[in-house]
Amino acid sequence: ARRRAALEGTPARAGLLRAGQVVVGAVLAALAVVVPLQLVEPRSLTGAVDWWGQEAGYGALQMVPRLFGTPLLPVTSTLVAVAGWLVALGAGAWLAARPGRRPGVVQLAAAMTGVVALTAPSLSVQSGLWLLPLLALSSRPWWEHLLWASVETVHFLATWLHIAFASDPGRGLPPETYGLLIVLRAAAWAWILWRVAEEPGADPA
């Protein structure tokens, strides 16, 4: 009986160990980026202090309420972003530890990136670069890449047209229209990242 109980507990312990390895690997990867950046440009990370008082920026779902006349408080925007990071870490650990289908690194990164992106206080046009490595390492068909890239192009143009609206409303893009395009872009991000996350990863446990 003891031997059987020990055998039954082995998959659970292996799952927890794998989840711990994923979290530790993510922390080490972050340090590998942050530490050299801090050494080369010490002021590059000081913006994190000011981040707590900033309003939602271009491209983020959090900006949509402001475009429709009901802006979020800066502290609310920040708390949503922090909650998104925590949920992303928890989701990554759960996906790595669950029995059965075991996701690979690309699938985990896609799922976690989706949560962070959709709750971020800012998602500029350059943020689309985050997805390029994931798409390159995935096996998604070319037409899915093209569809996502088309939405990114529309959002890029819409952002500059919305900025122009402040100086020339007759030629710029009104806030409500820009807000709808932000929602469209968020849907495209969620869709393409979900497609990547649902791909077969590592061999089942």
Q: How far is CA 87 from CA 74, 80, 93, 187, 201, in A?
A: 20, 10, 10, 19, 21
Task: Walk along the chain (205 residues) and give the pLDDT tens digit of each residue.
Answer: 555 544 445 666 666 677 677 667 766 766 676 677 567 666 555 555 455 567 788 999 999 999 999 999 988 998 999 999 999 999 888 888 877 777 888 888 999 999 999 999 989 888 888 888 889 888 899 999 999 999 999 999 999 999 999 888 888 899 999 999 999 999 999 999 999 998 876 444 4
Pull the structure tokens for residue 199: 């791909």
pTM of the predicted protein model? 0.73
**Residues listed for the chain:** 205
Beta bridge mates, 202: 102
User: Token pair of 79, please?
Assistant: 């708390």
Instruction: Specify whether the CB–CB gap between 173 and 158 falls below 8 A.
Output: yes
HSE value, Cβ hemisphere, 13 Å, CA-based, for 89: 13
Q: Which residues pair with 102 in a beta bridge?
A: 202
Query: Domain boundaries in the chain?
Result: 49-197
